Amino acid sequence: MPLDTAKTTERRSAVIKALGHPSRLLIAESLMNGEQCVCDLKELVGSDMSTVSKHLSLMREAGVLNCEKRGLNIYYSLACDCLGEFLRCVDKLACGGNKNTCC
Amino acid sequence: MPLDTAKTTERRSAVIKALGHPSRLLIAESLMNGEQCVCDLKELVGSDMSTVSKHLSLMREAGVLNCEKRGLNIYYSLACDCLGEFLRCVDKLACGGNKNTCC
DNA sequence: CATCTATTTGGTTATTTAGCCAAATAGATG
DNA sequence: CATCTATTTGGCTAAATAACCAAATAGATG
């Protein structure tokens, strides 16, 4: 059973990285309730709008988000409905962390 | 429906980060076939052993890996059997990334 | 067309993360 | 007990990431 090519690994890790920053994770979770524009997300995260914008671009480039301009705003939304499942996996992985007293 | 506390978000993102580096992802995937010692993983990753060791510590601290010393070696293993499911989610998220031509 | 609003981009600095080497540790073996 | 082996730790440098501010852009509105 061969491991993935380096390219697949890079791609996967880009997706994972896109969700591995606290602000970005918060954004993704919030978008589970539906699309939001940048200024909404700026409120949520509490950083400068340019910072939020950059987080959003990164997530979009990784394929995690889509965006659509309507009127004055740009609305971001999850590109895939599987984030909930993803987070359940993360939480399961997270609680493996109790018994690691060794070495 | 309130979002998580900051602490939960930090914890989750630590787990996600622990898997979001190419070398670490490779390690995790390889451990799906069973435990391995540091020098095996050094071969796999192709970095200095100290570098690999630091990746492993980080993953262990995040709760993703366990380790156990036997004889001269320290064997690392996945702390949770849900990594396969996690990766399936990642791949689904990854292929959302085709249609994002907008803005 | 001038202006206003929402967002992105560029530039800069600070912080974090990764990698390597050398030295320390801990346990096994002669 | 001296030594050997596998791993970790500390120190350092380089590279990547994050944050902010100021300026640019693009589209809506008067």
How confident is the prediction along chain B (103 residues), in pLDDT tens digits per residue?
555 688 899 999 999 999 999 999 999 999 999 999 999 999 999 999 999 999 999 999 999 999 999 999 999 999 999 999 999 999 988 776 444 333 2
Q: Can you tell me which residue has the tokens 């390889």?
A: B30
Cβ-contact B89, A82 below 8 angstroms: yes
**B98/A30 Cβ within 8 A:** no
Task: Summarize pLDDT for A62-96 with one digit per residue, the tens.
Answer: 999 999 999 999 999 999 999 999 999 999 887 76
Q: In Å, what is the CA distance from A25 to each residue of A35, A57, A96, B40, B56?
A: 15, 14, 20, 33, 23
Domains and their CATH numbers in chain A: 12-93 (1.10.10.10)
Note which residues in 26-85 of chain A have CB less than 8 A from chain B: 26, 29-30, 33, 60-69, 74, 78-80, 82-83, 85
